């Protein structure tokens, strides 16, 4: 007997190409709407890291010599996780028109958002 998890994975494999296309379109749309474009993806983690450095390294005097790499290693995954959770919450509601018109697994839309945010994190670190 095939488990429900196996059925879901086989359905998602069929939608893999569509996930890649949709998150590509979402990234282009997001950069077109924002005046800063791709620059904001790099600038946002740097600003977060700078604010935390000022608070913990300067004001509270809790900084060590390896505070900057420590902050950098924590800021990236935290921003990815927080944005993925926040954006995935509304993805099914925002795409309810498409869900009612065609059969699409409901996990498809959060998967697109998670892939999109992971791609933005990787691009911002590679700059």
The domain locations on the chain are 4-126
Residue 121 has pLDDT above 70, yes or no: yes
Residue-by-residue DSSP string for 30-49: HHHHSSSTHHHHHHHHHHHH
- How far lies 19's CA from each of 10, 36, 71, 109, 111, in Å? 14, 25, 31, 8, 8
For residue 109, the model assigns a pLDDT of: 82
- 1 pLDDT above the threshold of 60: no
More confident residue, 99 or 85: 85
Mean residue pLDDT across the chain: 78
User: 9-13, 59-63, 97-101 — which is least confidently predicted?
Assistant: 9-13
What φ, ψ does residue 66 adopt, rounded to 5°? -105, 30
What average pLDDT does range 95-120 have in this prediction?
81
- The whole-number average pLDDT for the span 68-93 is 83
- Which position has the higher pLDDT, 3 or 79? 79
Residue among 125, 90, 119, 103 at smallest CA distance from 22: 119
Overall pTM surpassing 0.85 (yes/no) = no
């Amino acid at each position: 007997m095939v488990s429900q998890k196996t059925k879901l994975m086989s359905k998602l494999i069929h939608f893999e190409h569509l996930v890649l296309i949709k998150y590509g379109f979402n990234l282009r749309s997001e950069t077109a709407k924002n005046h800063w474009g791709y620059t904001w993806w790099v600038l946002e983690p740097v600003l977060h890291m700078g604010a935390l450095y000022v608070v913990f390294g300067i004001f509270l005097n809790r900084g060590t010599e390896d505070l900057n790499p420590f902050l950098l290693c924590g800021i990236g995954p935290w921003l990815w996780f927080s944005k993925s959770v926040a954006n995935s919450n509304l993805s099914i509601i925002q795409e309810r028109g498409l869900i009612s018109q065609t059969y699409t697994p409901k996990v498809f839309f959060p998967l697109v958002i998670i892939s999109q945010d992971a791609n933005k994190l990787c691009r911002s670190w590679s700059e």
